Amino acid sequence: MYGYSFNNILPTTSYEVSVIFDIEGFGDEIQVSTWLPISNERQEITNEIQETGVFGVTQLNDATGRRVSWTAQAVTGKKLIRYSFEARGKAIQFDIDPEMVVPRDLPPSVYQYLNSTAAIQSNHPQILDKADELTGSEERFLPILTSIFTEINGMESRPFKGLTDALTTLKLGEASCNGKSRLFVALCRNKGIPARLVGGLIMDQGSKKTTHQWAEVYMGGFWVPFDCLNGHFASIPANYLELYKEDNFLFSRTANIEFDHLFIIQPKLVSNPKLASELKSSAFNTYLMWTAFEKAGIPLSLLKVILLMPLGAMVVAIARNVIGLKTFGVFLPALIAVAVGYTGLLWGMLAFVLVIVIVSLMHYPLERLGMLYTPKMVIMLVTVVIAFILLSIIGIKMNYTELAYITLFPVVVITITAERFARTVMEEGYEDAIKITIQTLVVVLGAYVAMNSTTMEAIFLAFPELFLTIIAAMLLLGRWIGLRVTEYRRFKWLVR
């Protein structure tokens, strides 16, 4: 695009991560150990903060990662350890040469990843039989890894507490991430392919206690990632945070203490480090806006919404004035499209309809009471807030985190829309009200697609002067006197 790279223009996602340890001691020494992330070619770790209280800190770095231990003597009562940092990851995808053959000679440091262990029983007869069944005498990387990966990825996924070894996974035909990864590593090692486990965290917004394990295979001088649980073949997403390598436990602690932990993850948009050099020749350098917002502590996601809102509004104007669709409100679809960007399209649409129906059902009894407009709207506003809170709680309880973001919907606008829906039902009937609701959702979809298009985002962020073209387009549309698209059917006899 005009010599610019989309990936360098678009803002990236950074994750604010905190892990909190709740510990209760009973007068004895306590030690808690874990693995902390380190920066490498795929992830960048910044702004690390440790709040340890009475605990002393020791740290050890080796080939498996960065291990930290917090120790305190004669601990009584509840104590808290908090470790927080910011992480920025990079998605990677490897292309495997179809003709690459598994080598016989390996670097000395890699041979250890061919060994059989207590949990990765690569030399067990059943593992040997399964490896032969899947790959036969094949010697090329791609067919071998494809067969093994497809077999394990197709197994049922079930969360098991504790460690599930490779042989148990094979016998049960089901496992969680650690069991599937161990079986993958065992089958690879059996075929002479060095493989190891990697432990880490999937950085999804919200709070969680669960961590994640995947595998890496050594080929062509690189360690190539494979996640048999989530279906990532020779690839890894940007929100995978690596904490340690090999078959380790993330936490170890002194016995006979009360211990709990919680990860809290908050994603945020940040300016791309390559943005300044990419836009240095642009007269309207948006990098200045990004950095100014960041220094002021204002989320860049807010700036993104502000910049793309005119685009959504233009979609609404075209839908109403050119196509002839009817909507509840003029800019409501664009506002709803912003909220849907946080909740996800499906959940956002369903939640929008559900709230409209719930609140509009209150309109009739309130009308029967003969209430004035303003008090009635306050009651309906309170009802919307309650509905949002209930939907958020349901989303959290059912582990649908996207639904929890329903609270980002513009509450006042939804309340007014619900009131208009109910009034339309009373004045024109359910059929017309439902038609307008459907048309509103169609326009929301159009605005959502436009405002969440990576191409449009890159273009308008790189060249904000293009917003002048929206003004020009609206000046032309403001003098539109032709038939709307939907009117051609209505007046087809006149057109003929």
Residue 246 lies in a domain: no
Quick one: what percent of the chain has pLDDT higher than 70?
85
More confident residue, 302 or 442: 442
Residue 115 lies in a domain: yes
Residue 384 lies in a domain: yes
Worst-scoring range by mean pLDDT, 22-26, 128-132, 226-230, 349-353? 349-353
pLDDT > 70? residue 2: no
Report H helices in 173-299.
177-190, 275-278, 286-295
Residue 1 lies in a domain: no
Residue 347 lies in a domain: yes
> Do 255 and 206 share a domain, yes or no?
no
Residue 103 CA to residue 109 CA, distance in Å, equals 15
> Do 122 and 196 share a domain, yes or no?
yes
Which domain covers residue 454, as residue numbers?
278-492
| Region 214-230 average pLDDT | 95
What pLDDT is stored for residue 222 in this prediction?
92
> Do 134 and 55 share a domain, yes or no?
no
Residue 363 lies in a domain: yes
> Do 116 and 134 share a domain, yes or no?
yes
> Do 165 and 309 share a domain, yes or no?
no
Read off the pLDDT of residues 387-417 as tens digits, 9 standing for 90 and up: 778 877 877 777 666 666 666 666 667 777 7
> Do 113 and 123 share a domain, yes or no?
yes
Residue 93 CA to residue 323 CA, distance in Å, equals 42
Read off the pLDDT of residues 148-203 as tens digits, 9 standing for 90 and up: 999 999 999 887 677 889 999 999 999 999 999 999 999 999 999 999 999 999 99
> Do 67 and 196 share a domain, yes or no?
no
Provide the pLDDT confidence category of residue 35 given band limits of 50, 70 and 90: very high
Read off the pLDDT of residues 92-113 as tens digits, 9 standing for 90 and up: 999 999 999 999 899 999 999 9
The two beta strands, 43-51 and 65-89, are antiparallel
What pLDDT is stored for residue 462 in this prediction?
65
Residue 242 lies in a domain: no
What pLDDT is stored for residue 58 in this prediction?
93
What pLDDT is stored for residue 1 in this prediction?
42
> Do 158 and 303 share a domain, yes or no?
no
Residue 245 lies in a domain: no
What pLDDT is stored for residue 139 in this prediction?
92
Q: How many domains does the chain have?
A: 3
Contact 59, 67 (CB under 8 A): yes
More confident residue, 363 or 243: 243
Read off the pLDDT of residues 441-492 as tens digits, 9 standing for 90 and up: 899 888 888 887 766 776 776 677 778 888 888 888 888 777 777 777 777 6
Q: What is the mean pLDDT of the chain?
A: 84
> Do 346 and 410 share a domain, yes or no?
yes
> Do 308 and 202 share a domain, yes or no?
no
Residue 392 CA to residue 339 CA, distance in Å, equals 14
E strands, 340-475, are none
